[in-house]
Amino acid sequence: MKHPLFGLCLSAALLTGGVAFAHHGWGSYDAAKLITIASNVERADWENPHVMLVVSYQGKDWEAVLAPPFRMNARGLTPDMIKPGTAVRIEGYPSTRTATEMRAERIIVAGKTYELR
């Protein structure tokens, strides 16, 4: 190959392109409409790229997109703190694409507020 650097860059772009495609931006959430959900956690998925919680709000199950696991840990949150049955208050923005999804900006657990962004 005449240009090994080109091949290396092309390979890196192809390998990381799937990760970039899989991660969504925050533009699909309405930052003009802050909502607050106070509920017990029904389900918690502590996985990359974001921790996800399912909570009940207005008679429906809502999915709350929280921060990545490493940021949750850095803020002092652990999986045991938000396991199913835990009472939480989540403040964030509703999705413009999915009627029962929100992007969480902060979560209040046991009276303590954790900023997620």
Please answer whether residues 115 and 67 qualify as being in contact, where contact means their C-beta atoms are separated by less than 8 angstroms.
no
The arithmetic mean of pLDDT across residues 89-116, rounded, is 97
C-alpha to C-alpha distance for 63 and 33, rounded to whole angstroms: 16
| Residues of the chain above pLDDT 70, percent | 78
> Count of CB atoms within 10 A of residue 75's CB?
15
Is-cis flag, bond preceding 4, omega within 30?
no
26-115: CATH number: 2.40.50.140
> pLDDT digits over 50-87, tens only?
999 999 999 999 999 999 999 999 999 999 999 999 99
The arithmetic mean of pLDDT across residues 15-34, rounded, is 66
Backbone dihedral region for residue 86 (phi beyond 0: left; psi -120 to 50: alpha; all else: beta): beta
Q: Is the dihedral of CA 87, 43, 59, 72 positive or negative?
A: positive
Residue ranges covered by each domain of the chain: 26-115
What are the backbone dihedrals phi and psi of residue 59, each rounded to the nearest 5 degrees, phi first? 75, 10
